[in-house]
Structure 1
Amino acid sequence: MPTDPVGRFLAALDPEHRKAVGAMPRGEQERLAAAWERDLEVDDELDTLDELSPPAAEAEAARRVLDRETD
């Protein structure tokens, strides 16, 4: 399992989005990973989901970040 934020973010994405984000410049990947980590820290809904399934919470946060940050 990756330990760096970008690697963890990429692992949380579905395969199609993982490929697309993986093709982005490293700086953009880092920006998205930082937004993803912020969402995981502050979103109360994700805290509840994280108690049930940490991978599901990470995937949901990744989906939200991509929806918000790549429009």
Structure 2
Amino acid sequence: MTQRTAKLIVALGSGLTVVLTFDAAWATVVTHARVLLITLYIVLAMLSAFTTFMSYEFLRRRRVMLAEQGINPQQ
């Protein structure tokens, strides 16, 4: 084996190591991104449900308050 061939093998091995390391790092990033995205969707769904519940609760309390004052909010 010539010195040139040995250098080529070392270079290819180093390149392969870099590619595999990058691939593993990228897979980790993608996995974390998926987890973060799913978490974000869950948080947004909870926020939406909470907002909807609070708006209904606000309207219910307003109707009760108006009814206590003798005002019919349906008119």
What TM-score bracket applies, with the shorter chain setting the length? Answer: under 0.3
Q: Which has the higher contact order (CA 8 A, sep 6+)?
A: 1
- Please, what TM-score do these two structures have when normalized by structure 2? 0.26
More helix by share: 2
Larger Rg computed on CA atoms: 2
- Please, what TM-score do these two structures have when normalized by structure 1? 0.28
